[in-house]
Structure 1
Amino acid sequence: MGYLRIRGECAKLGIKVSGTSVRNILRRNGLGPAPRRGGPSWAEFLRSQAAGVLACDFFTVETVALTRMYVLFFIELERRLVWLAGVTAHTTGEWVTQQARDLAMELGERTLQVKLLVRDRDTKFVASFEAAFAADGVRVVKTPVRAPRANAYVERWVRIVRAECLDWVLIWDRRHLERVLAT
């Protein structure tokens, strides 16, 4: 048991003691820190679970003409491979669903290896979007409300794309954005 945990348990009993005092008492009695627990670390666990997991999200880009473009992308977590599904100025349920079908066709046989799709609770993801993945046996998992860290891979990729690319280029239109993102 850790020093801070013991201190917390003592606090529940109404005993005020610091973590340092707990450490000193344990050392004096020949009790060192607990040995490292067996099993994988959190990072190792996540790496082992990444096989068969896709994550997706939207991000927006403003053009020179002040048109907002929506970019839908998917990331295969195991290989960190990004698929740009599409760019549009007007997202509709049909468009989003078609992008899901197109991705499934592009993945082909590898779709059978995908077990999970992680997405946020954006209203652009309609029921038919989830049904397109469910037809291939992929379970769709929604992240908790207002929890961007739950889909950290996609959030990090958006941050990198903005910092390394989009913050340095003026985007003219949809085709220009597609070309910039494809490079």
Structure 2
Amino acid sequence: MHICARVGSAALLSLVVMACGGENEAHTPVAAVPLSGTVRGQPFTAVSAIAYGFEDPDVPDNTLIQISEAQLDCGDLGALTEGRRDFTLAGPWTVHTEPLSLQNILSAVVYRNGQPDSSLVVSGLVEFVETPPEVGALGKVRLRGISSQVSVEGEVSVKFCGSTVPGVGGR
């Protein structure tokens, strides 16, 4: 089985970048500026972010975070307009810092013809700076992601929405 068929050419290029000097991106602190950069050559500025907890026996307090250039709120993902760019990231909703990797993947999503078109970003760093457990509370995540199609860095406030299904995940 060919690895290219499993992870795609963009992910392979990200791995090459990481192996050939992307190490610095994984250890230098992320800038405390509003999250922005480029996605597939287009400017990106984060407007909002939401987080939902979900159960994963291997990762306590696991959370799915969606960062968008559109206005998001708990239960409202906004209009999936043509060309809209989002990022998704999963990780424990605890204060910690972790390099992006094949086990800790940032996904860049561009909506085309009403469908999500995703690319993986495995070089960079994510810092979970503030992770309040109360539903509706604002946390803070700092992120640096670098690949052949993505270059973003900065911080974003993240609204914690609790569990995706009421009663699941103990939140």
TM-score by length of 2: 0.27
TM-score by length of 1: 0.25
Q: Which structure shows the bigger proportion of residues in helix conformation?
A: 1
Q: Which structure shows the bigger proportion of residues in strand conformation?
A: 2
